[in-house]
Chains A and B, each alone.
Chain A
Amino acid sequence: MKNRNSLLLAGVTSLVTFTLLASLVVGCAKPTLTSPAPTRSASSSATAKTTSPVDSKPNKQAQLEAAAQKEGSVAYWASIAIDADKYLLKFKQRYPWLKVDVWQADNQLIIEKVRGEAAAGQYNADLMGMSSDYWSTFDTSLLADYEWANASYYPPDTFVRKSVMLAYVIPMGAAYNSKLVTGDKVPKAWEDMKDPKWKGKTAASLSSRDAPLMLAALWGSEGKLNWDKSFSFWRDVFKETKPRSVNLYTGPVKLLGAGEFELFVYSPANVPIKEKLDGGLPTDAVPFSPVPSKTTGFGILKNAPHPNAARLLADWLTSAEGATEFSEVMFYPSLHKSASARVDRAFKEKAMNLYLVNPSVFTAENFEKSTAFWNELMQANK
């Protein structure tokens, strides 16, 4: 009896511990935690679809839609997915049979998750959306080459090989609280932010790693980066105004609007305008001109579990309809020739010209240099 007991105990304890792992392995192979894909029939999609969202090759588009429908869902991981539920509304209406799983996170986190999963032999993401500086640090061997359906509508230098299509512009400037900073007090040029009058009233984000690089590009000439001027400028800003560090991704503009500080020394210029128009926050972009701008865009993963659905979504996001929707909701100017949105008008009204930084400066080396300087500045800032 004792023997049987001990064997039984040994067996069951092994079962509980080892099979906990084993069952999990089996369990995790099935996406049990996600709700099932919509099961609308193909006919419903036919009624929903009126015109092709892709600006060319309708037959190819029909094949793509059929293949995507078979896949049933698409995983879209992007730093530019904060309001994806809004800007994908028309896409979802057009393709009600396609479930879109969105994950919004910081660019760096997305890169690490995709890399980590690849190292573990797992592939969950289909389409990634990141800004051009982060694409430079990403291993493009993880991306699929793609003949972008709407390429002809975009400038020829907005591609990173055939893998990434950079479709939207991110103007990088500064933001201020329009209730607390009024009239002549609003800075007119970057240099105005070095004024000691701002001491104790400014903030800078830990995640603004591209700030030194963007100003080095703005103040450079003939393709050369002016690191010295940029480094010197940021050192002065930190020395004179002692900006408060904020460890937030898009949160600082909300804090700015709430009145936590008056001036946010480096921010996407479109975000404070959007918050003012859509959220009623007293925020605005400092009217620098030209505004150094980078781009943001999309890449399809080589081992995407739903490659056709990823292509369908990528094509829509870069189509005239998708570009307009995205720009209206996210307030990023589009590079699409025929897309037009209120963001373009807003910058025009403010006489803010966008200076598109040449994507070639976004190398891993430059980005690391910029990151190292920024981290050092932030750590020394007390």
Chain B
Amino acid sequence: MPAMKQGKHGTYILLALGSPLVILVVVPLFLLLLNSFRSVSTGQVGFALDRFTLHNYVAAYSNAGTWTMLTNSLVFAVGSTAGAFFLGGAMAFLVERTDIPFRRFTYGMMFVPLIIPGMLLAVAWVLLLSPHIGLINKVWMTMGANAPLLTAYSMPAMWFVQSTIGAPLTFVLIGSALRRMDSALEEAAITCGASKVKVATQITARLIMPAIAGVALLQFILALEALEVPLVLGLDSGLWVFSTNIMIAFQDLPPNYGLGFSYSVILILLTMCGLFIYQKVMKSADKYVVVTGKGYRPRIMSLGKLKALGVTYQVLFALVTIVLPLSVLVWASLLRNYQVPSSETISQVNLNNYVLVFARSDIVRMLVNTVILASVVAGGVVVLSLLLSWVIYRARIRGRAILDTLSFLPYTIPAIAMGIAYMVVFLSFKNPIYGTIWILVIAYVVRFLPYGTRFTHSGMTQVHKELEEAAKVSGASFWTMFLRVVVPLMKPTIIGCGLYLFILSVKIFSIAVFLSSPKSMVFSMQIYQLWQEGRFGVLGALAVIMIGSLGILAALGGPRMGKMLG
């Protein structure tokens, strides 16, 4: 039988899996913390017990601007959470619990924004909501308005864009809770004469309260650590948040490492606090148990006259999360210099930017880098996650909970802080990894391990160990059993997980911005550089190509990915 009991071999396994995790997760965090108490420049970053100072923290928190930044961060996170919750939660309710038309289509549609990198969405919304050249504002003002409808460089616009980024995840998580909920209590309320609205707010909402609280906290954390929207929209409006302050500290002359490190440490602490509360909330979810062994089907509510309103919401959602951002990127890709559509600019439309993308060797190299990076990361995380899940769920060895904790730990570290922590590690000693694509591979693998284990833990619990035991009784070795029983049974999980991680690896910017180099340029960083250079045409062409490719991938494996996520 495959289960392994505690003994020296159990210890070997713990060490074999645990020590790399400690090295890759704990050591970078320790070095980041250590260096936040040191006064250092580039050549001095690393492990050394000298140059100690509290100056970094004093400078950071004695500055009045810091408190404004903290307020901005919290306001941005709260507003974005509320927005994502409204956009995604309402759609989840409509799709899962009402008779709104096009439910299957809407379900599929919700995964499209998941594949669009945040940096591209931020750039697209600048082109849509710029005060003077934003497409939406132009149309708005030609209709007679005196002022823009919404200015891209404002907190409401930042809330809005971050909400469209967070809405699909909210949809998936809230939708999952709604789908698994027993509707007996709702039916009882209706029998007692409660109105539809009262049932939705007094019964349904309360039953899924733990899921709502959990999702809200998760969105809050994601918004707190977000870099793309605050960088593209926030800096231009003077709305500095934690992530942008960290980035600017490293761009100072000379770079203010100490300040950047101290901000990062505080951001990690804030994130950890958020996740601690999240776990507490989820633990107390038992008292709201609504899924029992009894068979049930979620009750579908008839929208009646409200159906038209629901459909309008579906259309508007598709418009703001998919159609408008993609359209403006396509439009930008067809022009040499970005201009608002007019009879004059339509005559200038051409495909030169697409030709240019493939003619530029640096861009082709970046595309190759991105594909290699995403493939290696997805493959590496899937393999590690499968092994970890097997040890955690099947091998009865003492201390395996430590592995679970260690593999979850990177989840508590904001991506931007992880990028900085790895920069600190690889600046500390002479090594051949800094400046290559492999430093990104390592950081991404660690960053996405909690996502991978979430998939594989779930998949492993669905595969009964009887089949593994049968294989062992029939004389199969461990690896024969693992490769010929566990892996085939976990195939849907592996495909869904791999695909999701591939897409995440292409999208993530916060780590690449600190660790990528000319030789290891990747998609998200290239988009940022093109944006900085004002090359909106090439940027648009690259965006269309990448979103199209990811879209095809997601279409091939989307249902599996959706099942795993939801």
Contact = CB atoms under 8 A, between A and B. Distances in A.
Q: Main SS of the interface on chain A?
A: helix
A206 B362 CA distance: 27
Contacts of A53: none
Interface in A100-156: 101-106, 108-109, 112-113, 115-122, 124-125, 134, 137
Contact of B429 (A13, A34, A120, A255): A120
A260 B384 contact: no
B432 A9 contact: no
B133 A258 contact: yes
**How extensive is the interface on chain A, given as a class?**
35 or more
Given A24-B441, A33-B372, A116 B42 contact: yes
A97 to B, nearest CB: 16
A285 to B, nearest CB: 17
B45 interface: yes
Contact of B12 (A2, A7, A364): A7
Nearest to B359: A85
B383 interface: yes
B34 interface: no
A52 B433 CA distance: 39
A122 B12 contact: no
A375 B253 CA distance: 11
A13 B237 contact: no
Contacts of A368: 253-254
Contact of B435 (A18, A27, A122): A122
Given A35-B361, A260-B131, A368-B253, A244 B518 contact: no
Contacts of A124: 435, 517-519
Contact of B337 (A4, A31, A261, A281): A281
A338 interface: no
Q: Is the interface of B mostly helix, strand, loop or mixed?
A: helix
A21 B442 contact: yes
Given A113-B435, A248-B534, A259-B132, A371 B518 contact: no
B430 interface: yes
Interface stretch (B13-21, B82-90, B459-467): B13-21
B322 interface: no
B13 A9 contact: yes
A371 B253 contact: yes
B384 A112 contact: no
A260 B132 contact: yes
Contact of A251 (B131, B254, B531): B531
B47 interface: no
B445 interface: yes
A14 B42 CA distance: 33
Interface string B515-555: 00111110000000101111110000000000000000000
A10 B16 contact: yes
Interface in B424-466: 426-427, 429-438, 441-442, 445
Interface in B194-226: none
A322 interface: no
A29 B362 CA distance: 20
B433 A28 contact: yes
A381 interface: yes
B237 to A, nearest CB: 7
Interface string A349-378: 000000000000000100110010001001
B532 A248 contact: yes
A16 B390 CA distance: 15
Contacts of B232: 247
Interface of B: 2, 4-5, 7, 9-10, 12-13, 15-17, 20-21, 42-43, 45, 65, 130-133, 153, 231-232, 235-238, 240, 248, 250-255, 336-340, 360-362, 365, 368-369, 372, 380, 383-384, 387, 391, 395, 423, 426-427, 429-438, 441-442, 445, 477-479, 517-521, 529, 531-536
11 contacts: A4-B478, A9-B4, A24-B442, A28-B433, A116-B435, A120-B426, A120-B435, A122-B431, A248-B532, A275-B337, A371-B252
Given A33-B520, A248-B534, A254-B536, 15 more contacts: A2-B5, A4-B478, A5-B478, A25-B432, A33-B365, A35-B365, A120-B433, A122-B432, A206-B235, A250-B533, A258-B133, A258-B339, A275-B337, A378-B238, A379-B65
